[in-house]
């Protein structure tokens, strides 16, 4: 399909025939989602801007007006969809007020997110391609949306809130490792523990985390 055919589709247009702001955002969101799917399916080397353009139903000119090359689109797709995934946790039901029960419930929600097949596929892709994009790895180390989300949850509990920024950062990283580390490693190998065993591991990890914070 040519760029002209793609641009002739049924899009909402404003004065002068240009797409409305809402339409442009809808098409951009579709571009990011389809780019992510193509990268997951074909990897960095196999993915092409032509394929992404065709699947998203937008012209290549629409893509290059926003991203100078495939690498920039790859980074944007990972960043945006990772932030959207974090948003699904932020808008979930409130957590229990009891700190142990609250962190166990939060841990369940984290595991439900990171152990989804698409999330595991994303993790494999990110690890495989990160060496080609050192700036991408540095960006997520400095501005990790998962770490920021965990910090926000921990700060809601009085027992964990009265700390400086460095301690808060360290706690959020340790919480992520304790809760996610082994279950995700097993899932990447194609193994998931029975629900009762996964729950037992989760509760032990939360208690270990809280004991460490209280000891400090």
Which residue ranges form the domains of the chain, and what is each CATH number?
1-66 (1.10.10.60), 79-216 (1.10.357.10)
The pLDDT, as a whole number, for residue 215 is: 61
pLDDT band at 5 (very low <50, low <70, confident <90, very high): very low
pLDDT band at 8 (very low <50, low <70, confident <90, very high): very low
Is the pLDDT at 205 greater than 80, yes or no? Answer: yes
Q: What's the average model confidence in pLDDT over 80-94?
A: 74
Residues in the chain: 216
> Phi-psi bin for 120: left (phi > 0), alpha (psi -120 to 50), beta?
alpha
The pLDDT, as a whole number, for residue 183 is: 96
- Write the pLDDT tens digit of every residue in 26-44: 999 999 999 989 998 888 8
pLDDT band at 19 (very low <50, low <70, confident <90, very high): low
What's the pTM? 0.76
Alpha helix positions (H), 143-194: 145-155, 158-161, 165-188
The pLDDT, as a whole number, for residue 18 is: 63
Q: What's the average model confidence in pLDDT over 211-215?
A: 82
Q: Which residue has the tokens 């974090």?
A: 86
Q: What's the average model confidence in pLDDT over 95-100?
A: 94
- Write the pLDDT tens digit of every residue in 120-154: 988 888 888 778 777 777 777 777 778 888 998 99
Alpha helix positions (H), the chain: 3-7, 21-46, 49-56, 60-64, 70-90, 99-114, 117-129, 134-142, 145-155, 158-161, 165-188, 195-215
Q: At what angle do helices 70-90 and 145-155 cross, to 10 degrees?
A: 20
Q: What's the average model confidence in pLDDT over 109-121?
A: 90
**Nearest Cα to 82, choosing from 131, 25, 26, 143?**
143
Instruction: Supply the mean pLDDT for the chain.
Output: 84
Q: What's the average model confidence in pLDDT over 69-83?
A: 83
**What is the Cα–Cα distance from 55 to 27, expressed in whole angstroms?**
11
């Amino acid at each position: 399909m040519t760029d002209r055919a793609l641009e002739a589709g049924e899009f909402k247009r404003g004065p002068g025939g240009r797409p409305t702001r809402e339409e442009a955002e809808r098409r951009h969101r579709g571009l990011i989602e389809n780019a992510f799917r193509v990268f997951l399916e074909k990897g960095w080397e196999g993915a092409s801007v032509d394929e992404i353009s065709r699947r998203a139903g937008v012209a290549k000119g629409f893509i290059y007006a926003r991203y100078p090359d495939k690498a920039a689109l790859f980074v944007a797709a990972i960043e945006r969809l990772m932030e959207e995934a974090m948003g699904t946790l932020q808008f979930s039901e409130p957590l229990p007020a009891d700190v142990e029960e609250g962190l166990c419930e939060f841990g369940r929600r984290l595991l439900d997110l990171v152990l989804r097949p698409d999330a595991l596929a994303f993790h494999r892709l990110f690890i495989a391609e990160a060496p080609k994009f050192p700036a991408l790895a540095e960006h997520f180390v400095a501005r990790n949306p998962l770490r920021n989300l965990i910090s926000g949850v921990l700060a809601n509990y009085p027992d964990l809130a009265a700390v400086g920024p460095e301690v808060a950062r360290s706690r959020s990283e340790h919480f992520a490792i304790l809760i996610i580390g082994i279950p995700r490693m097993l899932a990447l190998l194609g193994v998931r523990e029975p629900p009762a065993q996964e729950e037992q591991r989760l509760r032990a990890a939360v208690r270990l985390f809280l004991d460490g914070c209280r000891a400090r």
